Structure 1
Amino acid sequence: MDIIELLESAALLVPEETATANDVTARDVWDCLAHDDWQTALNLMEECGDGQPLPATLWEQLAAAAEQLCLWRSAAWCRWRAAEARNGMVRAELTLRPAAEARRSTPIAGHGVLRPMWDIGNLSPTGGVSVSIAGLWIEDVPILEPGGRATVRLVPLSPSHWRHVEAGQRITMHEDRTVAGTALVLEARPPARRAGP
C-alpha cells in the first residue's frame, strides 16, 4: 500500500457526521490529497484525533504514511495515539522534583521514551503501595527539566490497573523507590471500544 492509499483509507475513517463547522473533516483531507499536499493531509488527520477518539487502526495507518514521508516525530505521535486507543490514556499536569531533591538530574525526553512507575492508589496483597507502569509523552515541549512542570499523556501498560483513575486525582511518579514527581489528573479515557462481536 502506498502513501496516498494509506491517507485515503485513513481519511475515510474520520467521523464527518460528528464534525462542527470548525472541525477538520474527511473532505478537508481529500482536498489536500487532490493537490498532492500529503504532509498537510497527515497533519489534518492528526488534528482530527483531538476530538472524538479514533480507532487504533487509523493511527497505525497514519504512522505508516508519516514514515513514508520521513516525518519521524509524526510517526511516533501516531503510534502513541494508537497505543492510547488500545490501552486508554490519562492526561495530567506533572511537576518533577528539583534535581537537588531527587535522583534525576537530567531532563526527561518528551516523546514516549520513558515508562516510569506510578502510585495511583493501588495496594499490594500485603497492604503496601503497588505501582503501575505507564509510558509518558510530554505535550508541547520536547523535554522536561528537573523541577519543571508540563502537561503529560500517560499510556498504561496494564489498563485494568488504571480503571479507577479520574480527573482531580493526585498521583506520584517513581523511577526508583523515591518520588520523582507528582501529577494532577486532568482527564482519564478508557481504551477505545473494539469493533466486532
Structure 2
Amino acid sequence: MDVTELLEAASLLLPEAVATENDITVNDVWEYLTHDEWEVALNLLEELGDVQPLPLAFWQTLATAAEQLRLDRSAAWCHWRCFETRNGVIRADLTLRPAHEARRQTPFSGAGVLRPMWDIGGETPAGVPDLYIAALWVEFAPFMEPGGQAIVRLAPLSPSKWQHLQPGQVITMHEDRTVAGTAVVLENQGPSVPPAPLP
C-alpha cells in the first residue's frame, strides 16, 4: 500500500464520533488527505489515537506510513503504541539526579532509545534489589537532561513483572549500580485492545 492508502485505512479504523480536545475529527484527516498533505494527516491521526484505545492495526498501519514518509520519530512513536496496545501503558513522573551526583553527564533521546534498569520493589534470593529493564519514552520532549523532570512512558522487557505497580508507588532508575533517577508511578493499565489483523 502507498502512504495515502495506509492513512485512509487507519482513518477507517477510527470511530466517526471520535474528536480531540481541539475538535479535530476524522473529517479533518480526510481533508488533508485529499490535498496530499500526508504528514499533517499522520500527525492528526496520532492525536486522534490518544482519545480512546484503538486496535493494534491502527498503530501498525500508521507506523508503516511514517516509515514510508521517513518520519523516524513518528514511526518510533507508532511502534511504541503498538507495544502499549499489546502489553499495557505505564506512565511515571521521573526526576533524574543532577550531573554532579550521577554517572550520566549528557542528555539522552526521549524517543525510546534508552533502556535503563529499574528497581520496582522486587528482591533477588540474595536479598538485593532485583532490577528489570524497561525502555523509556519522554512525553512532549525530544530529550531529557541530567537533573531534569518529565512524564515518561515505560516499555518493560518483561511486562508481567510490572503488573503490581500502583499509582503513587516510587521506583528508581539505574544505568549502573547507583540510582540515576526516581519516578512516581502515575498509571499502570493492562492491554487496552486485543490484537486485530491489518486492514
Same structural fold, with TM-score higher than 0.5 when normalized by the shorter chain: yes
Cα distance between partner residues in 2 of 1:146 and 1:22: 34
Q: Secondary structure at the match of 2:193?
A: coil
Q: Please state how far the C-alpha of 1:17 moved relative to its aligned partner.
A: 4.3
Mapped contact 1:110–1:142 kept (Cα < 8 A): yes
Question: 1:27-66 residue pairs with structure 2 within 5 A?
Answer: 27-66=27-66
Cα 1:42/1:20, change in 2 over 3 Å: closer
1:186 and 1:30 mapped to 2: Cα distance?
A: 35
Cα distance in 2 between the residues matched to 1:127 and 1:121? 11
The DSSP-based 3-state class of the residue aligned with 2:180 is: strand
Contact 1:14 1:25 in 2 (8 A): no
Amino acid at match of 2:165: V
Question: What is the rounded CA distance, in whole Å, between the counterparts of 2:18 and 2:4 in structure 1?
Answer: 24
State the percentage of identical aligned residues.
Answer: 63
- Residues 9-158 of structure 1 correspond to what in structure 2 (within 5 A)? 9-17=9-17, 19=19, 23-158=23-158
Alignment coverage as a number of residue pairs: 196
Q: Secondary structure at the match of 1:16?
A: coil
- Displacement of 1:87 in angstroms is 2.1
* TM-aligned CA distance change 1:140 to 1:161, over 3 Å: same
Q: Look up the equivalent residue of 1:159 and give its one-letter code.
A: P
The answer (yes or no) to whether the contact 1:111–1:137 under 8 Å persists in 2 is: yes
Change beyond 3 A, Cα 1:183–1:20: closer
SS state of the match for residue 51, structure 2?
coil
Call closer, same or farther: CA 1:74–1:20 in 2, change over 3 Å.
Answer: closer
CA contact (8 A) 2:94 2:183 kept: yes
Q: Is the 8 A contact 2:18 2:25 kept in 1?
A: no
Superposition deviation, residue 136 in structure 1? 0.4
Partners of 1:160 and 1:171 lie apart in 2 by 16
Higher RCO (C-alpha 8 Å, min separation 6): 2
Give the Å deviation of 1:18. 5.1
| 1:73-130 deviation per Cα after TM superposition (whole angstroms, max 9, x unaligned) | 2112111111221222211111111111111111121111001111111233444321
Give distance in 2, aligned partners of 1:13 and 1:166: 32
Q: Which amino acid aligns with 1:56?
A: L
Q: Say if 1:113 and 1:15 are closer, same or farther in 2 by CA, change over 3 A.
A: same
The one-letter code of the counterpart of 1:29 is V
Deviation at 1:160, TM superposition (A): 0.4
In structure 2, the residue matched to 1:6 is 6
Amino acid of the structure 1 residue aligned with 2:161:
H
Q: Aligned pair in 2 of structure 1 residues 20, 145: CA closer, same or farther (>3 Å)?
A: closer
Instruction: Identify if the C-alpha distance between structure 1 residues 124 and 55 changes in structure 2 by more than 3 Å, giving closer, same or farther.
Output: farther
Q: Cα RMSD between the aligned structures?
A: 1.9
Shift of residue 2, structure 1, vs aligned partner:
0.8
Structure 2, unaligned runs of 5 or more: none
Larger CA deviation: 46-55 vs 109-118: 46-55
Corresponding residue for residue 169 of structure 2: 169
